[in-house]
Every structure is written in structure tokens, then in C-alpha cells.
């Protein structure tokens, strides 16, 4: 059996699968990875992306934040790829219990996944910092300068910026899901971003699968490692025919 066939067999025998994904899940939909060679971190701006995408910068340079955010963080034309689609199929068959994602693009939901835990929030949710009214992403995209609520408050994307903590409820649900999983599939992430990467420590099963183009610090702990494009790997799986 090759690696993909082993993964197929694991999923067929599993009762509770959790998928934990990073930027590599979305790059195949045309959304750049911050940390890749061609990603945002390797490009030149007036300020480093890490600075612009920080809570402090948002509060003190809101208009400049939004100039960058609209140009570099919104990919509303992106479509789900084979990985997103296959994960939604696996959930529909009752095998996959939850998708835990570091991405903020909403592509898992667009593909049909229902149980999605977004560690870093979503560009599709935006709220007034004064009255907490929510606004869709289209309002942010179509606005000019700093988007304002009807009450006059500043609207903020519901994404976790540098200097902000992860949502405690989302983290708690993620920990519980991973603890209860008999198969944990980690895909498209170098497992270098904490505290999200630390979630792997809560897995107690014996079917830890890593699907990534490059090596990760957790390779030695994996029961199955598949090097390559996550979309190409998942495309070979036949959950829809089970």
C-alpha cells in the first residue's frame, strides 16, 4: 500500500477524525502563504506585514491598516480546492467531526463543511468596536478609508491580529476535539505558529497523519507522513463513494 492508500484505510476504520489545517490548505486556491518564499513576509512594504497586522498598528494607524488589508488579505474570488471539498465530503459521511483551521478565508464553509473552528477568526465577520453590530466582508471591501458603523464606531475585522489572544472558547473546543479524535490529520502547516501548533500535544491517539510539502518539527511523532500537495493527496481519496 502507498501512503495515500494507508490514509484511505485509516479514514475508513475511524469513528472520529479531526483535521487541523494551515496556510497550505488555501495556497492551492490562490491565497498566498505569509511565510513561503513568495509570501507576504518576503515582500517589501513601508512596514513589515507583522507590524501592519498587529493590534497596536490597527489602533494607531487604522487607515493604513485597511489599505494593506483590502489589498493583501481579502481574496473573495478564491474557490475551495480538492482538499476543502473532500473534507466536506468526509464530514457528510459522519467521519470527520471538526475542521480546525488557522486560515481566515472561509473556504471550508464555502465547500460545505459545517463544523469549523477558526483559530484566527474570519474575514467574513466584521464588527463595530462601539456597538458590536456585525458587517459582511463586502462592506469592508467596498468602503473607502476606515469603515464606520452607522453609530459612528470603527469597524474591525474579526481576525486575530498580532498582540491579540486566541478566542478561549474556540481553543477549548479545539482541545476537546483533538483529545477525542482517533485520527488526527494535520495538513498544510509547518506547525511553527504557537499557540495553535501546540494543539497537537493534546492528541492521545495512534493515528497522527502529517500532509505537508516540507518537513515539520513534529515529523518524528507522526504515524504517517505524506509529502506533497494536500489537494493532490486528498483528490485521490474516495470518500464520496463509501
Residue pair 158/106 in contact (Cβ under 8 Å)? The answer is no
Which pLDDT value is given to residue 40? 57
Q: Which of 84, 108, 120, 124 is catalytic?
A: 120
C-alpha of 121 from chain center: 9
Handedness of CA 236, 4, 6, 33 (dihedral sign): negative
Active site residue 132: no
**Dist. CA 154–CA 99, nearest whole Å:** 31
Q: Nearest-CA neighbor of 204 among 186, 177, 169, 226?
A: 177
Which pLDDT value is given to residue 239? 58
**pTM for this predicted structure:** 0.93
The single-letter DSSP state of residue 86 is H
**Dist. CA 81–CA 231, nearest whole Å:** 7
Residue ranges in the chain modelled with pLDDT below 70? 34-44, 239-242
Amino acid at each position: 500500500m502507498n501512503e495515500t492508500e494507508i490514509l484511505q484505510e485509516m479514514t475508513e476504520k475511524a469513528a472520529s477524525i479531526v483535521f487541523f489545517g494551515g496556510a497550505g490548505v488555501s495556497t492551492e486556491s490562490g491565497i498566498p502563504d505569509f511565510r513561503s518564499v513568495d509570501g507576504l513576509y518576503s515582500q517589501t512594504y513601508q512596514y513589515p506585514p507583522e507590524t501592519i497586522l498587529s493590534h497596536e498598528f490597527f489602533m494607531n494607524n487604522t487607515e493604513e491598516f485597511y489599505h494593506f488589508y483590502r489589498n493583501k488579505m481579502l481574496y473573495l474570488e478564491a474557490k475551495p480546492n480538492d482538499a476543502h471539498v473532500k473534507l466536506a465530503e468526509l464530514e457528510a459521511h459522519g467521519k470527520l467531526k471538526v475542521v480546525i483551521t488557522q486560515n481566515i478565508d472561509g473556504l471550508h464553509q464555502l465547500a460545505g463543511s459545517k463544523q469549523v473552528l477558526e483559530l484566527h477568526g474570519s474575514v467574513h465577520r466584521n464588527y463595530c468596536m462601539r456597538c458590536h453590530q456585525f458587517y459582511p466582508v463586502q462592506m469592508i471591501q467596498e468602503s473607502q478609508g476606515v469603515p464606520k458603523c452607522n453609530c459612528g464606531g470603527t469597524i474591525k475585522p474579526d481576525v486575530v491580529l498580532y498582540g491579540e489572544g486566541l478566542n478561549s472558547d474556540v481553543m477549548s473546543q479545539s482541545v476537546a476535539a483533538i483529545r477525542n479524535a482517533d485520527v488526527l490529520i494535520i495538513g498544510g502547516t509547518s506547525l511553527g505558529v504557537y499557540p495553535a501548533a501546540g494543539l497537537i500535544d493534546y492528541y492521545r491517539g495512534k493515528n497522527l497523519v502529517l500532509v505537508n510539502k516540507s518537513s515539520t518539527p513534529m515529523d518524528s511523532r507522526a504515524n504517517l507522513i505524506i509529502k506533497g500537495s494536500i489537494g493532490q493527496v486528498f483528490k485521490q481519496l474516495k470518500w464520496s463513494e463509501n
